[in-house]
Amino acid sequence: MTAHKKKIEELKKNNPNIRTHLCRQAIRKAVIMRWSNEVKTALEVFRFVPDAFEIDQEESIITIYEVEISHPISNNKMHTYWQLLHFIENEDWTLKLIRVDRFGNHTEIDIVRWWHDEGYNEEQEAESKNKHEAEGQPERVKNQEAPRINGL
């Protein structure tokens, strides 16, 4: 088992509410009664697969966990989280993004501050991808849509 998978398993062991599969579908199901068709459609467009997530229905909080063992969260993924944040804020939900390092330390990332400080930069993302490949590391797998269950 890789160090990355070990950290994810530790997260799940320490908090039984943390899940690792079907995040978009779980988000959609959690707030489906309140979301407009426009938001439901937008959620289907988002392509992200977090390492782990938790949905607190009572507090209306979605917490995303990203484990950074060898690679930081990409600008593409941060941009997607920023977009998701705006959609769920309009529905009175909160999105928390937690970075977990190799030592198990948790750091909450302020997505809005990231956007204002870093923003989404296509050139920077392309450089990052080229560097990643130049180091002889395999190409990152593109996020794929999970199979639909009961129309979700």
Read off the amino acid at residue 110. Answer: D
What order do you get walking across the sheet with 61-68 strand by strand?
52-56, 61-68, 94-101, 106-109
Q: Quick one: pLDDT band at residue 114, thresholds 50, 70, 90?
A: confident
Q: Quick one: pLDDT band at residue 122, thresholds 50, 70, 90?
A: low
Q: What is the pTM of this model?
A: 0.72
Domain ranges of the chain: 1-61+68-75
What are 3-58's pLDDT values in tens digits? Answer: 999 999 999 999 999 999 988 888 878 876 555 666 566 666 667 789 999 999 99
